[in-house]
A and B are shown apart, each in its own frame.
Chain A
């Protein structure tokens, strides 16, 4: 979930009000599913003070910017939808003086581009910081780490129009990237430049890489990797910038430009459209003027709203609620609601999304909790029930119940147990080798307790009932989960006979007739271990723990132990 840092003064100014109290601000932020994370008000209020805000809705990238969040709060309070006059749409043609030509060569690698120009007051430090943050958050969270969307910002005055977006050979094309002074080929950038290394996977192996250059052939940027050092740097004091978005997901590319354009418009900049001419057809046409309003109408019904929210709302209440959420809605027949998503939003997938906006716009506190009346019978799962029975018997036998983590190291789960790691389920992307395998037995954890509990008064009698993962090539997943019992005794005279007596008592009270059969498990002493057969099926094993296992765990007290598949015995 994105977390943004907003300049307090800029935020309040854009929101059209101030908050004196963190609690009050937190309350306001709930309508944006946002949480105030940090607001250090002991810092001087000199225009640089910031606050950190976490945004929970991953489908609302428009809220991840200072202006966007402020717009939501302003609209919610005023109940008035803001107007952005600079959008072209299928029904509204607009002229544009500046053009970007998208060539056929990028179609396979990164086909979509949108952009616009913002002109206005000299850019201040807080505005520049905010622009860069928006650029990063949109490209990282919404743009799937620049794969689907990346954004470039340039000083317009340096660019000779029209701009070309075209595919080039990464081995022979070169320019000076930001944070560098030398000319590098695209291949070199992917291998040596920090940003190149970070995002190389997006382009690696592609024969043609995308490039933006101006009419003079100078490089603007190498999307989605890095801008050029010559044309691709923006600083405080600039008053006219070109913002372009490229990517692989067309609606997202268009939406990112819309969000940034609305934000800059809210901050007092005028937005100049850019015409994008594709050499191929696109869902929005082969020539598209951006910012472009591409969203279709969303709809729901008063009936759906009443059913989902549990309260009938009248038409006025619904329309008012939607307006507070920035949504222009109307009805033609009094029951079907048609809603135009705001220019900066594209999150209405289903009518339920619109219903939720009605809920928030209407105010969640207006809905009274109601007790459900349907009668249902509660019950524990059969295995939980059976496990509790086993636990009660073991407690009666003097055992302490333990509970352990299921992930561990190959060293604990296999090496020390004298079994091969291949018998365990291994994680392909472990964070550390301490949590690399899923256990196939509770015994390593019980033995680990012995290795750290030498000072606890003896005798030790411990058990755990929990899940294990066992490889099974027959199963659909190749792995099955079972509920296992592990039990262990440790003291100077702990031996086969004692654990055998406990097993006998346990199985007697579980009502299981059993026979034992000599086994050869490397975890136990040869000749002092048996498999337990219930109805002819192997259900468990017990015996004296092999001294080699004890030594590997650093245990100097004799141990006897057993493990049982209680799910199979149930």
Chain B
């Protein structure tokens, strides 16, 4: 049984062949063109489709000679052969010298010379005493007439004369004027064509039957045109079904970057949890980057090999008061914070040193003086580290950080937040907390999660800001600070395994990149 949809998907050319011939019939291109009026090329399309369906099989192939009208041949056909035109002009204007003849007809000397020579040999023309060509017999020689007839015949058959359509006399003439190569100075080019004939298979009977029973004619409507709609002509025909299995052509759409979309989805998630986004400068001071976070100025993470310094300018003009004095006091002896401080002499010059922000916590510190209580803030911000760039390190990258201010902030609510991030943002099934260490929080907690795909990993660090940090910046309530690492989840969501790929310059790879992230 044949599938009706397959039959419906037949092309009109296929249908017409199926309806015209039955099993066992031998057909070829010429026959189909003659019988069904196919245009050159259409038959080959139809044959290949039908052969692919097993409805035609190759019956034989022979090489045929054919003679193709060249550009020169077309010109001869339209304006006459040089010989005919020489005779015509001599009849009209009387004897002319060969150069005059060439000029009058627009031929070169060689063409005129050889045409006149042939006519002279046949006694139709001769050179008179004044060395001018003159006409002796006004009737065209048979050879010239036969060539003109051949040109007409070729033109009428689309410029191509298969050898089989020529008789002995025509062939004899053809052999004198056709060339195989370099045929631009000849009226015909000799072409070899392989002619394949096909036999209609037994299978075709069933298809033929199906086509007939479905009332298909091969005259179904193709593309819907404005004219068709204006005239309503579509009402009188049937639409040809298309082969809907053909792969569609590629389009290149305008598109969001999947990594940016991922970052935005995390932002949206945090907003939905009641966090307000903050933003800030790429260039910061040692003060806000580290001093305000109670990292002693001699701390090992503040080395020249960890932070990028600006070459010019090197220092901020001022650091905001009263924060500078309060932070300096906290470092030196604790100040008003209840701490004994680090016990060293705070360097007020170094604190103005300009650097590229190395941690998102800068923005948390900057938010403290202007934060609402209760308040929740976050940022996904670009940070810079003095690191060799490889698959797991970048010199600039995003950090996701935030703070929670409120009377009810304590270890247990901090754990509550971490649990929320783990399940809501990371989709974790299991969460584990261990004591951690950060210079600006006490207590400090690391959160590890079991991700459905990635397994156990450290999602982030957090803690409650030290009073040296918060009180110096004018905040009296406890502040939970947290940072989560989302790049591993981003890589997984984007099917990548190299952090550098997140910032890829390769347009094709970015165009084709798909994201599979799904926030809960």
Contacts and interface: CB of A to CB of B under 8 A. Distances in A.
B410 interface: yes
A428 B337 contact: no
Interface in A447-486: 448-450, 452-453, 455-457, 459-462, 467, 469, 473, 476-481
A360 B437 CA distance: 12
Contact of B376 (A57, A141, A378): A378
A342 interface: no
Given A378-B272, A426-B311, A428-B311, A480 B281 contact: yes
Contact of A56 (B264, B274, B372, B436): B436
B396 A406 contact: yes
Contacts of A352: 442-443, 464, 466-467
Given A395-B254, A404-B505, 12 more contacts: A310-B410, A350-B334, A355-B442, A356-B444, A370-B412, A376-B372, A398-B254, A402-B507, A403-B260, A406-B396, A428-B311, A467-B282
Interface residues of A, number: 93
Interface in A361-400: 364-365, 367-381, 383-384, 388, 391, 394-400
A330 to B, nearest CB: 20
Given A350-B338, A381-B277, A400 B311 contact: no
Interface string B463-501: 010111000000000100000000000000000000000
B467 A479 contact: no
Contacts of A430: 308
A119 B284 CA distance: 52
Given A374-B406, A397-B254, A359 B443 contact: yes
A469 B355 CA distance: 12
Interface of A: 30-31, 33, 56-59, 141, 144, 148, 249, 251, 307-311, 349-353, 355-356, 359-360, 364-365, 367-381, 383-384, 388, 391, 394-407, 425-431, 434-435, 438, 445, 448-450, 452-453, 455-457, 459-462, 467, 469, 473, 476-481
Interface stretch (B6-14, B51-59, B219-227, B413-421): B413-421
Given A349-B339, A448-B505, A364 B279 contact: no
B275 interface: yes
Given A372-B416, A378-B271, A350 B339 contact: yes
B260 A369 contact: no
Contacts of B268: 380
B467 A310 contact: no
Q: How large is the interface on B (under 10, 10 to 19, 20 to 34, 35 or more residues)?
A: 35 or more
Interface stretch (B91-99, B116-124, B201-209, B386-394): B386-394
Interface string B246-258: 0000101111110
Contact of B313 (A311, A380, A477): A477
A4 to B, nearest CB: 15
Contacts of B115: none
Nearest to B319: A476
A308 B339 contact: no
A456 B276 contact: no
Contacts of A401: 255-257, 260
A129 to B, nearest CB: 23
B384 A407 contact: yes
Interface string B390-410: 000011100000001011111
10 contacts: A33-B434, A349-B339, A377-B274, A395-B256, A427-B309, A428-B310, A452-B506, A453-B506, A479-B282, A479-B310
Given A58-B299, A431-B386, A481 B283 contact: yes
A42 B420 CA distance: 40
A564 B338 CA distance: 49
Contacts of A455: 508
B511 interface: yes
A434 B390 CA distance: 13
